[in-house]
Amino acid sequence: MAGPMWLLMMLGIESHQPLLLTRNVNSSADPQAQKYISESKCLVIEKNGKLRYEIDTGEETKLVNPEDVARLIFSKMKETAHSVLGSDANDVVVTVPFDFGEEQKSALGEAAGAAGFNVLRLIHEPSAALLAYGIGQDHPTGKSNVLVFKLGGTSLSLSVMEVNSGMYRVLSTKTSDNIGGAHFTDTLAQYLASEFQRLFKYDVRGNARAMMKLMNSAEVAKHSLSTLGSANCFVDSLYEGQDFDCNVSRARFELLCSPLFNKCTEAIRELLRQTGFTADDINKVVLCGGSSRIPKLQQLIKDLFPAVDLLNSIPPDEVIPIGAAIEAGILVGKESTAGDDSVMIECSAKDILVKGVDESGADRFTVLFPSGTPLPARRQHTLQAPGSVSSVCLELYESEGKNSAKEEAKFAQVVLQDLDKKENGLRDILAVLTMKRDGSLQVTCTDQDTGKCEAITVEVAS
Ligand SMILES: *[C@@H]1O[C@H](CO)[C@@H](O)[C@H](O)[C@H]1NC(C)=O
Ligand SMILES: *[C@@H]1O[C@H](CO)[C@@H](O)[C@H](O)[C@H]1NC(C)=O
């Protein structure tokens, strides 16, 4: 292929760190700055009207500018992107939270520039989320309202967007800093501590080291509970050599976290009131941020908007970066019409799905690579099967239609045979799928109990 191939890069940055990029503000008068200072893991001091991190390296104390931290994060992202792509692509679209002020935005843009990126544009996260799903792009006429629900690590950001003739306008937004993925992990860790106390009569809540171990275990369990009905938490030598072993069911997790779920739904209701809307005025809901994976949360949002499309086929933590990449594609495509003979965006052409069975025994399809996924891409999927069966089959389907089960066509399967019977319980089969830039798909299935493994490669003709 002649001509340079343009490569697109995706960047999303969590909002808690760069929020300190407030330059020349009186931080004692800014409640949000105060909140971040009190929650920061390292000491923040104000010097000459600017906020700095004070870091103890063991030999000396250093003052570090937030801008330098942002630049380091961008440098690391650039390094990762270059090694994944095998090329030195430098064009980026950077996404910023909607509530970023002009100064914070430009500080972030400058940090990306200082890391060696060529910043094509800064766009708001809710716009990126709409772009990821092509909202307003395929049928550019007509008006609709979209709710963007983003539950990140430390905050919940809600936006109501009006889409009119392919143009996006933010009607209203609401950000809550008192709810995020970290709060769900913390709730679970507190529960584990109370279970430990019940069993061993010792309260570890005052012990930072023990709590850190419980937080790590809770984090892993929380992720498992998004796909499985129960999760095991095992902590080696939690306190005075005592191991801790505990199973948490999804129902238990949902009960523990119900105050957090209520905060989310209350925030949605509040935003609708603020916008002067009822649920019927919303036409689509886009889910983003890793914590919006939680099944119960998705159910509660569906209940609030029974008649609405809930868009969740793209892994929620990738929605905003994918939107940024699409924007970059549009911008680069425009700029390269003269001279360069090809603009290539490598992405999957069809939805790739895996078939599973839900509690009622009905087939359930899970989209692993939605069409338009930038390549190469890698996904993991855990398939559960009864321990009593000796073979398990992973079936892969492709589909051109959006969310329409009828159009799915099976194109590959991986069979694990002669598995040792398991006395009771379920067996977990971990499937790792890698789609290469040429569209070929490599699938490896491993039985988590025995380590037995099968791999296939499918050349996808599309
Ligand atoms: C910063 O704000 C505080 C509290 O509102 C006020 O007392 C102080 O004088 C302000 N400092 C400057 C330099 O404006
Ligand atoms: C957790 O569940 C597994 C599988 O059902 C079981 O083998 C194990 O004994 C349970 N652990 C505890 C502490 O209950």
Q: Is the pTM of this model over 0.85?
A: no
Nearest CA to ligand 1 atom 10: 26
Q: Say how many Å lie between the CA of residue 261 and the centre of ligand 2.
A: 28
Q: Say how many Å lie between the CA of residue 25 and the centre of ligand 1.
A: 10
Q: Say how many Å lie between the CA of residue 29 and the centre of ligand 1.
A: 6
Sign (positive or negative) of CA dihedral 193, 197, 199, 200 = positive
Q: Say how many Å lie between the CA of residue 50 and the centre of ligand 1.
A: 13
- From first to last of its 462 residues, the chain has per-residue pLDDT tens of 222 222 333 333 443 344 455 545 566 677 777 777 777 777 888 888 778 888 888 888 888 888 888 899 899 988 888 888 777 788 899 998 887 778 788 888 999 999 999 998 888 899 999 999 988 876 666 789 999 999 988 889 999 999 987 788 899 999 988 899 999 999 999 999 999 999 999 999 999 999 999 999 999 999 999 999 999 999 999 999 999 999 999 999 999 999 999 999 999 999 999 999 999 999 999 999 999 999 999 999 999 999 998 999 999 989 999 999 888 888 887 544 333 333 344 667 778 888 877 667 778 888 888 777 777 777 888 888 888 888 888 889 888 755 554 567 888 888 888 888 877 788 888 898 888 777 788 898 988 888 888 888 887 644
214 vs 123: CA distance, rounded Å: 38
Taken in order of first residue, the domains within the chain and their CATH numbers are 139-176+257-316 (3.30.420.40), 181-255 (3.90.640.10), 347-459 (2.60.34.10)
Q: Say how many Å lie between the CA of residue 27 and the centre of ligand 1.
A: 8
Atom from ligand 1 closest to the CA of residue 26: 1
Q: For ligand 1, say whether the CB of 391 is within 6 Å of any of its atoms.
A: no
462 vs 446: CA distance, rounded Å: 28
Compute how many other C-beta atoms are within 10 angstroms of the C-beta atom of residue 323: 30
Give the length of the chain.
Answer: 462
Mutate which of 24, 26, 37 for ligand 1? The one with the most ligand atoms within 8 Å of its CB, which is 26
282 vs 272: CA distance, rounded Å: 9
Q: Which ligand is nearest to the CA of 27?
A: 1
216 vs 222: CA distance, rounded Å: 10
Residues with Cβ within 8 Å of residue 432, at least 6 apart in sequence: 378, 379, 380, 443, 444, 446
Nearest CA to ligand 1 atom 6: 29
Continuous H helices in 201-226: 208-225
pLDDT at residue 19, rounded to an integer: 44
81 vs 10: CA distance, rounded Å: 9
Nearest CA to ligand 2 atom 5: 425
Q: Are 268 and 149 in contact (CB under 8 A)?
A: yes
CA distances to 21, 45, 94, 294, 327 from 120, rounded to whole Å, are: 21, 33, 8, 34, 9
Residues with Cβ within 8 Å of residue 393, at least 6 apart in sequence: 413, 414, 415, 416
Q: For ligand 2, say whether the CB of 249 is within 6 Å of any of its atoms.
A: no
Structure tokens at 237: 């030598």
One-letter identity of residue 377: A
- H/E element, 122: strand 118-124
Q: Give the phi and the psi of residue 368 in degrees, each rounded to 5.
A: -100, -45
> 3-state class of 72 per DSSP?
helix
Q: Give the phi and the psi of residue 100 in degrees, each rounded to 5.
A: -70, 135
Q: For ligand 2, say whether the CB of 232 is within 6 Å of any of its atoms.
A: yes
Nearest CA to ligand 2 atom 2: 247
pLDDT at residue 358, rounded to an integer: 66
CA atoms within 13 A of residue 92's CA, in its CB half-sphere: 29
- H/E element, 112: helix 102-114
Q: For ligand 1, say whether the CB of 29 is within 6 Å of any of its atoms.
A: yes
Q: What is the 3-state secondary structure (H, E, C) of 277-334?
A: CCHHHCCEEEEECHHHHCHHHHHHHHHHCCCCEEECCCCHHHHHHHHHHHHHHHHHHH
Q: Are 66 and 96 in contact (CB under 8 A)?
A: no
Q: For ligand 1, say whether the CB of 409 is within 6 Å of any of its atoms.
A: no
Maximum pairwise Cα distance, the chain: 74
Atom from ligand 2 closest to the CA of residue 424: 5
pLDDT at residue 459, rounded to an integer: 78
Q: Which ligand is nearest to the CA of 230?
A: 2
Compute how many other C-beta atoms are within 10 angstroms of the C-beta atom of residue 29: 8
Q: Say how many Å lie between the CA of residue 51 and the centre of ligand 1.
A: 15
Q: Are 377 and 364 in contact (CB under 8 A)?
A: no
> 3-state class of 440 per DSSP?
coil
Q: Say how many Å lie between the CA of residue 247 and the centre of ligand 2.
A: 6
Q: Give the phi and the psi of residue 245 in degrees, each rounded to 5.
A: -130, 125
pLDDT at residue 47, rounded to an integer: 81
pLDDT at residue 181, rounded to an integer: 93
Q: Say how many Å lie between the CA of residue 425 and the centre of ligand 2.
A: 9
Q: For ligand 1, say whether the CB of 31 is within 6 Å of any of its atoms.
A: no
Q: Which ligand is nearest to the CA of 426?
A: 2
How buried is residue 182: exposed, middle or buried, by Cβ count under 10 Å (0-12/13-18/19+)? middle
Q: For ligand 1, say whether the CB of 28 is within 6 Å of any of its atoms.
A: yes
Residue that has been written with the tokens 């909607």 in this structure: 98
